[in-house]
Chain A
């Protein structure tokens, strides 16, 4: 009997190790899975995500030998009343060349609003080759009541873009983030 009593001590030791393992797995979700997913998204273009930083590398020579069609799509998320559209819907560009396009937005409401545009590229494997040197999606966009704005985008399609990709679609989904921003300010 006593041998059984004593055997509970190593059991507690085992249990503590397992508790540590469980805590580690909980932390794993936050400190490994989420960042790892974001890294993989950037690297593999999952969901057509593009970098949220401006591209600063110096463009190499322009590849005049081929043209790529770039399509622009503007989407309003739920509850977003702005009018939002690209002024040019399709462009043909040479890889390596710098290009610009403008999206027009207008806030028809009586409130000042803040919006965030989320880019997504299709096909997603093209995302890694689509470099934005300037984009309104890098920052939140503030529009006063009944105000409008022209929002610029500058981009370069990488010369290394696989040759079997002929069309790239870039979509922006506009989200209303007024509440989050205001709450954040109020909390401060």
Chain B
């Protein structure tokens, strides 16, 4: 760390050895955007193959590698690191801390990520190809029947798991120990709250994922049979362990998104967030429920009926705290003074589409109906509504909202709005028809399909190309802003923005809050 009054080091060593939360946040954000483009490219291959019935571009085996890598890269490479990047940039500034609590560990947790994904991507060039068993990697397809590259996949998962755990530990340690005097828990911005809860979820479940892949490794190489019936194991056990991780994992992805939206909607409504305390409690309830609903991903494995009923009721309950959140956001907008800059547009897009995804989630929770939905495109549509329109839209909103603070330059508003409308329309053209084909009987993860699904699939592919292209516009807008955007010098870039991060100069200096700030506002108004 050295003395704290100098600026960043020069050249590549600034980035390699940095312990500055802003630098590390920036690297996380760029890395995750690169991964977003890579995962997006895989999605384009998938949609191009599905443009028409029949096999045109790729072979079925390669198609499965694409769906697998698309899922893994998007979940672990794009969405999760992007929110960690946001946390790095914002949490210290929001709670009035000079940096993250453990800056050196912060550096490591970022720098082990690129090698992990390099290793994962390199499996594409290995004999037998990349992992082709879906991002859920069910045994025995991922053990006995997997390509040799599965071992590299396991190591990649281990490394990125360690990265996530280190990142989360850092966030918890920062929030618990580094808050400025007067920044009590119930005064923290909701983004900090949602991340704190997310970080606890991560510490709890990433080791479970590590355990699952370790068992796979042992089954493959050391002759154990955790997941093979032949040696007394059970392939269904894998699914239980995976989803015990996997369900909290989807909330890990969406909770920070809730936090972002809870910052931005009040800013552009010029009105404090409605029901701050209930938002915190709802977030905690969702996190708790996430541990007791995992088997709703497994309604068709033949669980005893008592198990089906338990998981169905518990899953339905999630609708309550989620509903509370949506109602609170809308009440925040109610009788505000609304304006619709790009971040607000993405938040409203989030609100509409995430709610639709929530409704289909409620439909999916109904076990008997799920027998018809399970593993069809209805599920694909559902989780893209919550993952893309939920997590990615809110992340995009966050970038537009805080970018001027980060770099002291304003993005091009017209281009931002164009990006929103193309994204919103492209997204819906892509994923809305997938509800239809799913209900009509199209299974997911198939490279070719029956003729009655053709029209909607073509529509879906066209939408995907539009949505994909709109991200290039986003990239251009961000780069153009950083390089040559109109300078802004107001500390409060947005007139409605509240919070400590808006009290530091714009652009945010390399070191902020070396002296603890005065925490200005009473609870519930941040």
A and B touch in the complex (CB under 8 A): yes
- Contact assessment for B208 and A28 in the assembled complex, using a CB-CB cutoff below 8 Å: yes
Given contacts A18-B203, A34-B237, A41-B234, contact A46 B172 (CB under 8 A): no
From B240, B307, B516, A37 is in contact (CB under 8 Å) with B240
CA distance A8 to B1 in the complex (A): 13
CA distance A115 to B150 in the complex (A): 27
The answer to the question of B302 belonging to the interface, with a C-beta cut-off of 8 Å to chain A, is yes
Flag B493-514 by CB within 8 Å of A: 1 or 0 each. Answer: 0000000000000000000001
Flag A1-20 by CB within 8 Å of B: 1 or 0 each. Answer: 10110011011101100110
Flag A161-188 by CB within 8 Å of B: 1 or 0 each. Answer: 0000000000001011100100110000
- Contact assessment for B101 and A15 in the assembled complex, using a CB-CB cutoff below 8 Å: yes
- Contact assessment for B207 and A52 in the assembled complex, using a CB-CB cutoff below 8 Å: no
- Contact assessment for B244 and A33 in the assembled complex, using a CB-CB cutoff below 8 Å: yes
Taking CB atoms, residues of chain B closer than 8 Å to A34 are 226, 237
CA distance A23 to B204 in the complex (A): 9
Taking CB atoms, residues of chain B closer than 8 Å to A46 are 236, 303-304, 307
> Number of contacting residues on B, CB 8 A?
47
- Contact assessment for B101 and A11 in the assembled complex, using a CB-CB cutoff below 8 Å: yes
The answer to the question of A29 belonging to the interface, with a C-beta cut-off of 8 Å to chain B, is yes
CA distance A118 to B165 in the complex (A): 39
CA distance A52 to B215 in the complex (A): 22
The answer to the question of B97 belonging to the interface, with a C-beta cut-off of 8 Å to chain A, is yes
Sorted nearest first, the 5 A-B pairs with minimum C-beta distance are A29-B211, A175-B230, A11-B101, A26-B207, A25-B207
Within 8 A of A (CB), among B171-226: 172-174, 176-178, 203-208, 210-212, 215, 223, 226
User: Whose C-beta in chain A lies nearest to the C-beta of B228?
Assistant: A175
Within 8 A of B (CB), among A12-51: 12, 14-15, 18-19, 21-23, 25-26, 28-30, 33-34, 37, 41, 44-47, 49
Interface size class of A (residues with CB under 8 A): 35 or more
Would you mind naming 7 contact pairs between A and B with Cβ atoms under 8 Å apart? A7-B178, A15-B102, A15-B105, A26-B208, A37-B240, A47-B234, A47-B236
From B208, B223, B240, A25 is in contact (CB under 8 Å) with B208
CA distance A12 to B231 in the complex (A): 43
The answer to the question of B398 belonging to the interface, with a C-beta cut-off of 8 Å to chain A, is no
The answer to the question of B515 belonging to the interface, with a C-beta cut-off of 8 Å to chain A, is yes
CA distance A175 to B172 in the complex (A): 48
The answer to the question of A107 belonging to the interface, with a C-beta cut-off of 8 Å to chain B, is no
- Contact assessment for A116 and B230 in the assembled complex, using a CB-CB cutoff below 8 Å: yes
The answer to the question of B232 belonging to the interface, with a C-beta cut-off of 8 Å to chain A, is yes
The answer to the question of A77 belonging to the interface, with a C-beta cut-off of 8 Å to chain B, is yes
- Contact assessment for B210 and A26 in the assembled complex, using a CB-CB cutoff below 8 Å: yes
CA distance A8 to B176 in the complex (A): 11
Within 8 A of A (CB), among B383-435: none
The answer to the question of B241 belonging to the interface, with a C-beta cut-off of 8 Å to chain A, is yes
From B230, B234, B240, B302, A177 is in contact (CB under 8 Å) with B230
CA distance A125 to B212 in the complex (A): 28
Interface residues, chain B, CB within 8 Å of chain A? 4, 97-98, 101-102, 105, 165, 168-170, 172-174, 176-178, 203-208, 210-212, 215, 223, 226, 228-232, 234, 236-237, 240-241, 244, 302-304, 306-307, 514-516
From B102, B231, B232, B304, A11 is in contact (CB under 8 Å) with B102
CA distance A12 to B4 in the complex (A): 20
Taking CB atoms, residues of chain A closer than 8 Å to B212 are 29
Taking CB atoms, residues of chain B closer than 8 Å to A26 are 207-208, 210-211
Taking CB atoms, residues of chain A closer than 8 Å to B165 are 22
- Contact assessment for A15 and B173 in the assembled complex, using a CB-CB cutoff below 8 Å: yes
Taking CB atoms, residues of chain B closer than 8 Å to A125 are 304
CA distance A33 to B245 in the complex (A): 12
Taking CB atoms, residues of chain B closer than 8 Å to A116 are 230-231
State the total of A-B contacts with C-beta under 8 angstroms. 120
Taking CB atoms, residues of chain A closer than 8 Å to B237 are 34, 37
CA distance A125 to B303 in the complex (A): 10
**Nearest chain B CB to A31 CB, angstrom units:** 10
Taking CB atoms, residues of chain A closer than 8 Å to B241 are 29, 33
**Nearest chain A CB to B21 CB, angstrom units:** 13
Given contacts A4-B514, A173-B229, contact A19 B234 (CB under 8 A): no
Taking CB atoms, residues of chain B closer than 8 Å to A37 are 234, 237, 240
CA distance A14 to B173 in the complex (A): 6
- Contact assessment for A184 and B303 in the assembled complex, using a CB-CB cutoff below 8 Å: no
CA distance A17 to B232 in the complex (A): 36
Given contacts A37-B237, A47-B236, contact A29 B203 (CB under 8 A): no
Taking CB atoms, residues of chain A closer than 8 Å to B168 are 18
**Nearest chain A CB to B234 CB, angstrom units:** 6
CA distance A34 to B97 in the complex (A): 42
Taking CB atoms, residues of chain A closer than 8 Å to B215 are 29-30
Given contacts A26-B211, A34-B237, contact A11 B178 (CB under 8 A): yes
Which of B230, B231, B306 has the most CB atoms of chain A within a 10 A radius of its CB? B230
CA distance A52 to B172 in the complex (A): 46
Taking CB atoms, residues of chain B closer than 8 Å to A52 are 232
Taking CB atoms, residues of chain A closer than 8 Å to B102 are 8, 11-12, 15
CA distance A117 to B377 in the complex (A): 37
CA distance A180 to B231 in the complex (A): 9
Which of A15, A77, A124, A180 has the most CB atoms of chain B within a 10 A radius of its CB? A15
CA distance A183 to B224 in the complex (A): 12
CA distance A173 to B235 in the complex (A): 14
- Contact assessment for A22 and B203 in the assembled complex, using a CB-CB cutoff below 8 Å: yes
**Nearest chain B CB to A49 CB, angstrom units:** 8
CA distance A26 to B516 in the complex (A): 38
CA distance A14 to B101 in the complex (A): 10
Extra 16 A-B pairs, beta carbons < 8 Å, given A11-B178, A33-B240 = A1-B4, A4-B178, A7-B101, A14-B177, A15-B169, A21-B203, A25-B207, A25-B208, A29-B207, A29-B212, A33-B244, A37-B234, A46-B303, A49-B234, A175-B229, A184-B223
User: Whose C-beta in chain A lies nearest to the C-beta of B303?
Assistant: A46
User: Whose C-beta in chain A lies nearest to the C-beta of B245?
Assistant: A29
CA distance A180 to B223 in the complex (A): 7
Taking CB atoms, residues of chain A closer than 8 Å to B240 are 33, 37
CA distance A176 to B173 in the complex (A): 51
CA distance A183 to B225 in the complex (A): 14
Taking CB atoms, residues of chain B closer than 8 Å to A23 are 207
Within 8 A of B (CB), among A122-138: 124-125
CA distance A15 to B177 in the complex (A): 10
